[in-house]
Amino acid sequence: MLSDLLYRLRALFRRNAVDGELDEELRAHFEREAEKLMAQGLSREEAMRQARLAFGGFEHIKDECRQAWGVQWLQTSSQDIRYGLRALRKSPGFTIVAVLTLALGIGATTAIFSVANPVMFRSLPFHDPNRIMTVLETKPAQNLDWLWVTEISFVEWQRRSSVFESLAAYNGCGFRLPDEGEPRFLSGNCVSSTFFPMLGVKPMLGRFWTAEEDVPGNDHVAVLSYRAWKQEFGGDASVINKEDRAFVG
């Protein structure tokens, strides 16, 4: 409720005024009570004493009222925090060690996570990423694994294995662009024709190559990344389909 919030804000930020008002209010009550008792015939001292008794503890009532304002927890927490800070200031050695430990822990965790997140946790931006795997060879006799696969093995697997829906091969390759005057080198990958269909991507312009073009001698086909297209050919769309080039976005 709005009035509740406003009340609490006032108790928080106009604390001195609110406290002063409380004091004045209680004092007025006390005096009025004493007056009443005096009117009943008691002496001034006796009236004050009885009024004080009837009232109970001043400070206790004030505390209860402050509780009713609903911001005490904030006051006590901030007091506790300030006390904690003072204690820390008194033992600087401990504080420095604690701060460094925290900084190291947070920094290391953040660094590791920012590396691990794209590598391990974020899924590949391809179709059905959980089913995409890397298949490698092992040589148990020599306790080796994570071995790159030869082309022969790949072709054999494609032909004979029924475990996988589709197999694609990829390899790091360098490319030389010959017809722009001075030769330029681009880094890229050599992939089998099954590569792009497996990932479920579609070319922005042109097409990917087919299985027939997967054979040596027939493989004058290339797919340019969007960035390479922009950089090397200035985004010229006529470059596509010239000498069987296809582009992907």
Partner 1 sequence: MSNDHIDLPQGTLDLLILKTVALGPQHGWAISERIQQISSSVLQVQQGSLYPALHRLERRGWIKARWGASENNRRAKFYELTRTGRKQLESEADAWRKLALAVGQVLDMA
Q: What are the residues binding partner 1 (CB under 8 A)?
A: 1-4, 7-8, 21-22, 24-26, 28-29, 31-33, 35-36, 54-57, 60-61, 64-65, 67-70
For partner 1, the closer of residues 19 and 219 by Cβ is: 19
In this structure, is the dihedral angle defined by the CA atoms of residues 194, 198, 199 and 201, taken in order, positive or negative?
Answer: positive
- Angle between the N-to-C axes of helices 15-39 and 44-55, in degrees from 0 to 180, rounded to the nearest 10: 130
Closer CB to partner 1, 2 or 141, in the complex: 2
CA distance linking residue 247 with residue 234, whole number of Å:
13
Beta-strand pair 245-247/222-224: parallel
Q: How far is the CB of 3 from partner 1 (least distance, A)?
A: 3
Coil/strand/helix, residue 186: strand
**Nearest-approach distance from CB 22 to partner 1, in angstroms:** 8
Packing angle, helices 72-90 and 58-69, rounded to 10: 100
Q: Which C-beta is closer to partner 1: that of 23 or that of 156?
A: 23
Residue 113: CB minimum distance to partner 1, A: 44
Phi-psi sector, 56: left (phi>0), alpha (psi -120 to 50), beta: left
Rank residues 20 and 200 by Cβ distance to partner 1 and give the closer one: 20
